[in-house]
Amino acid sequence: MSNPVTSPVVTGVSTSGLKDSAIMIFGASGDLTARKLIPALFMLQKKEFLPPNVPIIGVARREKTDDSFRAEMKIALSKNIKGGITEAEWETFSKRLFYVASNLEEGADFGPLRDSVEKIERQQGVGVTRVIYMATDPKLFLSAVDALGKADMIPSAESPRKLRIVFEKPFGRDLNSSRLLSQSLSKQLREDQIYRIDHYLGKETVQNILLFRCGNSIFEPLLNRNHVDHVQITVAESQGIEAGRGGYYDKSGALRDVLQNHVLQLLCLIAMEPPARFEADAIRDEKLKVLKAFSTGGRPISEWAIPGQYVASEINGKPAPGYLQEERIAPDSNRETYVAMKVLIDNWRWAGVPFYLRTGKRFPERVSEIAIQFKHPPMHLFSTVECEGDMCQFVSAQSNSLVFRIQPNEAILLSVSTKRPGMQYQIHPVTMNFQFEDAFGGELPEAYERLLLDVLRGDSTLFTRSDELEEAWKFVTPVLEYWESQTIRPEPYAAGSWGPDKADQLLGSTGRSWRKPTSAEMHKKH
């Protein structure tokens, strides 16, 4: 691959207004703040995207001083910033860190919080835009927003002040709870004040999907029913249940936790029509059209949606527990740790093209990708090549594939067929392998860096709109209700395998098969 041009074309929203912003983190004592948010904000400062006067105000129930909060965040940075931080970097960053103790439960009085925040804003010389990150349990979303309203901390549409509130998933547990949450939030907030974050959309490869499609005229005309055989989207995790998350996961499962949000968003980006403009609402309008066009072909749920649950096995010679042996998991749990689906999109571009989706835990590899499998050439042209005896080594040309590798080692791969050098006419598949880190040098920014910067800019392109969220839940909720009301037992699969046998039948009946992507293929030299 050739090196990138030295004078890139830059698009996006100006950062000139950031110097008038303040950042508040509700739930500042939690793991998300220490592991993701504070490191992301530190990196924005290091890359000179965050003006020096912008304060970061941690808010949580526990009583602590500014200095004790700063000490905790210094430890967090030392653990989560590769290569560590210098004293000079910390000295600059620590000056923007503040802490205010406040109850976030129902009935909380945010009057004292408002007064403390306004004092910090005056001290720092900011006061136009407030960004609030809700790094809390979702059950606190409504009570915190209600308290903001009562404390007169939600500006009207006519006010020169701006408020943007970032909400972490889950956004409800099903269609009804999601609707109720959206309706309740809309009583206090406008849609342009709500940023529903999906960190997958901040990854470089995901952001590159639209640019790759619409910025390269040779590819976009191929992404349709005339040329594409099928699409596979995989979001695979190699670990089981992380310590302390068993209670949460057993109530959620793979369908709610990953497929309803991450996987469906990836599907929308690869299947949507090119937007009329590269603007937030134009892009989200096209994603919504894809969600509305979802179809299951009129088949029963059991034929196109397969739940799975990993069972005890060995991984690399070491015993791995099954899901039912994990900490805080009910011994008779029917919760799925794996989901595979076959989805159709009933529109002109994709009619008849199956989209195969899968996500789960205890896969052989941690890997996320979108793989577009193109159709075979219309005829075996090379079978007519003249040859004699041992010279007849013809092998049928494989179909081409285009893969967007999201993690690990973000990359774009294109497979093609070539002739192997020599006297025999042998067809050999090769892969053109473009890796972002190799091409552009240095480490890629973390997803939270990009998404937090977008919130500060007021760019909602990579955030989920309420109507998108509702359509996604409309598709997923009947599956959840069927599995839970019928007490469907998930298909067993060995820890460290690619999933249950029944999931293979989604593709096997048509002669297709699941990809088995590995991190090793990223390092092959072709």
Beta-carbon count within 10 A of 219 CB: 14
The Cα 173–Cα 150 span in angstroms is 27
Residue type for 92, please?
T
Beta-carbon count within 10 A of 197 CB: 24
CA distances from 275 to 231, 399, 404 (A): 21, 29, 20
Residues forming beta bridges with residue 24, ordered by sequence position: 57, 132
Catalytic positions, please? 262
The Cα 434–Cα 173 span in angstroms is 38
Nearest one of 201, 192, 143, 191 to 169, comparing CA atoms? 201
- Burial zone of 18 (CB within 10 Å; 0-12 exposed, 13-18 middle, 19+ buried): buried
The Cα 264–Cα 269 span in angstroms is 9
Quick one: tokens of 248? 């949460």
Torsion over CA: 436, 36, 449, 78 (sign)? negative
Sequence-distant (≥ 6) Cβ neighbours of residue 140 within 8 angstroms: 26, 27, 104, 105, 134
- Burial zone of 413 (CB within 10 Å; 0-12 exposed, 13-18 middle, 19+ buried): buried
The Cα 526–Cα 520 span in angstroms is 13
